């Protein structure tokens, strides 16, 4: 694999000297596999390690983070989604290659031989491994959400003869963000640019709707999007749209915030505590937000207890200073709470698997709309002519989605194609009501989100805990 000209021999030597090292150990803990990652400390390395683990669909049960000085050390206790230890011996090589490739923009820095080279599928678009590059246009949408908006977006794409190859949709606090990849058969650069402008203009009109164009953003670019980075981009779109500041009209939550922030003045750290219901990708969402807000995590501990997650981070700005004002502290709390909530879903989960065709998404979302349901989140993928889509649908008025409504929708779309999700794990991602949250806290489940002394209680043991546990952990208790 050819290396970029910008890397001279000294740069390549430094990369090889500081290549992330990964050790996977099944013998230390009885209930989880230990994944130890150490590397030269650099911005984003923690996020990349967490991303790689979550992309492998692993559950992070515990973690210990330490990155003072110039070295990053991390221990993850991971299992598969069924709570089992890992048995795949290729995991070490895969983790090392993914982390290594990410540090140098896809350059094969694990070695020059074929056995150590980074697979091309990590470096280019999703079709790079097969040598086939599909012409895709990547659309980024954000703006005010409203009932039926997603149906209108897909209807416009159908009218413009755009075939949707993949899509991701999030809604939160009355806002919507979406990444849509559409197939484009036009190869002439001027023609493609003109087509992109037409698509942008039509979608911007739809996003503006009757609410004006404030906050309606669309961009179109020719790309081979990386699925691994799409979740981070969704957080960035929501953050740029300031969804953390918007409140649903007439709705005010009395439940305590799952996030607390305070300063450890003597050591120059700000301490972030997150105490909430556990769910897949929770750690990624929190670390992603801290990274994009330009904070550096120097120490941290993550623990899950049943359906609760307890996370503690010791952070500073990029310039080494802690949070400096009450306004900044409140903003961090708001942004982290929004990051936690964006994947939470209300209603029911419907899975669609059928032969792909133009207009499929427009027809299905129109059916949801006609039955009075809104899509709160969606994941759309196509492969080998088959569409595999997951829709999280809810009643806009907050009423439960009845079985009769689900039956009517499945009958309309096709009972062999659209089914109520049998994945019980997804139901654990749904939002709890404030009363349920408060009851959980009253029962003793709200450890870290209470008084301001909660984070300070752990300060004396943070370094000892991290250094003792890095490689020396003998139990998960």
User: For 416-472, what is each residue's pLDDT tens digit?
Assistant: 899 988 653 444 334 434 444 444 444 444 443 333 444 444 444 444 455 444 444
Domain 259-344+433-469 CATH assignment equals 3.40.50.10140: no
Residue 251 has pLDDT above 70, yes or no: no
Residue 129 DSSP class? G
Query: Order of strands, edge to edge, in the sheet holding 21-25?
Result: 21-25, 33-40, 71-79, 59-66, 295-305, 308-317, 269-277, 259-264
H-helix segments, 342-471: 360-370, 403-413, 424-427, 434-440, 453-457, 462-469
Structure tokens at 164: 């949707």
**pLDDT tens digits, residue range 334-382?**
999 999 999 987 789 999 999 999 999 999 999 999 999 999 999 999 9
* Rounded (10°) angle between helices 45-55 and 282-292: 150
Q: Where in the chain is the domain with CATH 3.30.70.260?
A: 9-128, 134-223+225-246+345-427, 259-344+433-469
Q: Distance between CA atoms of 64 and 240, rounded to whole angstroms?
A: 30
Q: Give the model's pLDDT for residue 90.
A: 79
SS3 422: coil
CATH class of 9-128: alpha beta
Of 59-68, 72-81, 93-102, 123-132, the one with minimum mean pLDDT is 123-132
Q: Give the model's pLDDT for residue 455.
A: 46
Residue 383: C-alpha distances to residues 151, 166, 352 (Å): 22, 9, 13
Q: Distance between CA atoms of 317 and 322, rounded to whole angstroms?
A: 6
Q: Give the model's pLDDT for residue 248.
A: 45
Give the predicted TM-score (pTM) of the model.
Answer: 0.79
Helix (H) or strand (E) holding 89: none
User: What CATH number belongs to 134-223+225-246+345-427?
Assistant: 3.30.70.260
**pLDDT tens digits, residue range 179-224?**
999 987 666 677 778 888 888 889 989 988 644 444 566 676 655 4
If phi > 0 it is left, if psi is from -120 to 50 it is alpha, else beta; for residue 306 that is: left
Q: Give the model's pLDDT for residue 416.
A: 87
Q: Indicate the Cα dihedral angle 327, 332, 337, 339, nearest 10°.
A: 140
**pLDDT tens digits, residue range 295-326?**
999 999 999 998 999 999 999 999 999 999 99
């Amino acid at each position: 694999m050819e290396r970029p000209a910008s890397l001279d021999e000294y740069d390549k030597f430094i990369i090889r000297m500081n290549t992330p090292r990964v050790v996977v150990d099944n013998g230390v803990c009885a209930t989880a596999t230990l994944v130890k990652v150490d590397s030269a400390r650099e911005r984003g390395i923690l996020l990349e390690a967490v991303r790689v683990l979550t992309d492998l669909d692993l559950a992070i049960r515990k973690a210990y983070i330490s990155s003072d000085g110039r070295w990053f050390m991390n221990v993850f206790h991971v299992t598969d989604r069924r709570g089992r230890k890992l048995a795949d011996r290729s995991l070490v090589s895969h983790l090392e290659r993914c982390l290594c490739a990410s540090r140098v923009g896809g350059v094969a820095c694990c070695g020059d031989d074929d056995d150590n080279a980074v697979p091309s599928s990590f470096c280019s678009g999703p079709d790079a491994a097969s040598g086939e590059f599909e012409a895709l246009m990547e659309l980024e949408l954000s703006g005010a959400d409203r009932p039926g908006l997603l149906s209108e977006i897909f209807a416009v794409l159908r009218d413009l003869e755009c075939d949707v190859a993949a899509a991701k949709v999030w809604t939160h606090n009355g806002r919507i963000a979406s990444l849509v990849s559409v197939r484009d058969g036009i190869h002439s650069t001027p023609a493609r640019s003109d087509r992109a402008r037409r698509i942008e203009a039509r979608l911007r009109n739809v996003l503006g709707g009757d609410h004006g164009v404030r906050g309606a953003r669309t961009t179109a670019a020719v790309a081979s999007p990386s699925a691994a980075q799409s979740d981070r981009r969704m957080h960035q779109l929501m953050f740029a749209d300031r969804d953390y500041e918007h409140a649903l009209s007439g709705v005010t939550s009395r439940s305590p915030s799952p996030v607390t922030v305070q300063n450890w003045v003597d050591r120059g750290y700000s301490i972030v505590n997150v105490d909430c219901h556990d769910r897949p990708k929770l750690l990624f969402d929190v670390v992603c937000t801290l990274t994009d807000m330009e904070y550096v995590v120097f120490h941290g501990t993550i623990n899950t207890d049943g359906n609760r997650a307890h996370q503690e981070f010791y952070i500073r700005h990029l310039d080494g200073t802690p949070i400096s004002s009450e306004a900044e502290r409140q903003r961090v709390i708001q942004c982290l709470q929004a990051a936690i909530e964006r994947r939470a879903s209300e209603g029911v989960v419907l899975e669609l698997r059928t032969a792909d065709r133009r207009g499929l998404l427009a027809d299905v979302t129109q059916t949801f709309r006609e039955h009075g349901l809104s899509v709160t989140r969606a994941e759309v993928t196509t492969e080998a002519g088959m569409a595999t889509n997951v829709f999280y649908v809810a009643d806009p008025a907050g009423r439960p989605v009845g079985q009769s409504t689900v039956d009517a929708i499945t009958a309309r779309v096709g009972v062999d194609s659209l089914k109520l999700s049998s994945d019980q794990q997804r139901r654990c991602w749904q939002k709890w009501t404030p009363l349920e949250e408060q009851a959980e806290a009253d029962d003793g489940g709200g450890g870290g989100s209470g008084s301001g002394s909660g984070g300070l209680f752990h300060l004396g043991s943070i370094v000892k805990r991290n250094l003792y546990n890095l490689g020396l952990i003998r139990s998960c208790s």
